[in-house]
Amino acid sequence: MPRSRSERLLLAAERLEVDLAVERRANEAYEQFKARRRAAGGIRVGGPPKPYQPPKVPEGKVNLTDPDSKR
């Protein structure tokens, strides 16, 4: 675990970006599945997919308290 605050903040930001990228990829795969899904006879199952708009900024919180700065 990095000890400097800037390194920890960069690591936290990187983790949030990775989580957002995974969420976007999973949503794309789900939308493709919904578009292709058909019943055994070739009839479409379910209604049209509802488009999902992932957030432009990753959801999450960065811990602003610094355990290294104690009184």
pLDDT tens-digit series, residues 6-54: 888 889 999 999 999 999 999 988 777 777 776 556 667 676 667 888 7
The span from the CA of 56 to the CA of 54, in Å, is 6
Q: Answer whether residue 55 is part of any domain.
A: no
Q: Answer whether residue 14 is part of any domain.
A: yes
pLDDT of amino acid 50: 75
pLDDT higher than threshold 60 for residue 71:
no
What is the reported pTM? 0.50
Return the higher-pLDDT residue of 55 and 64.
55
Handedness of CA 39, 43, 46, 50 (dihedral sign): positive
- Which string of DSSP letters, residue by residue, matches 10-40? HHHHHHHHHHHHHHHHHHHHHHHHHHH-B-T
Report how many domains make up the chain. Answer: 1
pLDDT of amino acid 60: 77
Q: Answer whether residue 19 is part of any domain.
A: yes
Integer CA distances (angstroms), 24 to 30, 41, 61, in order: 10, 31, 19
Q: Answer whether residue 59 is part of any domain.
A: no
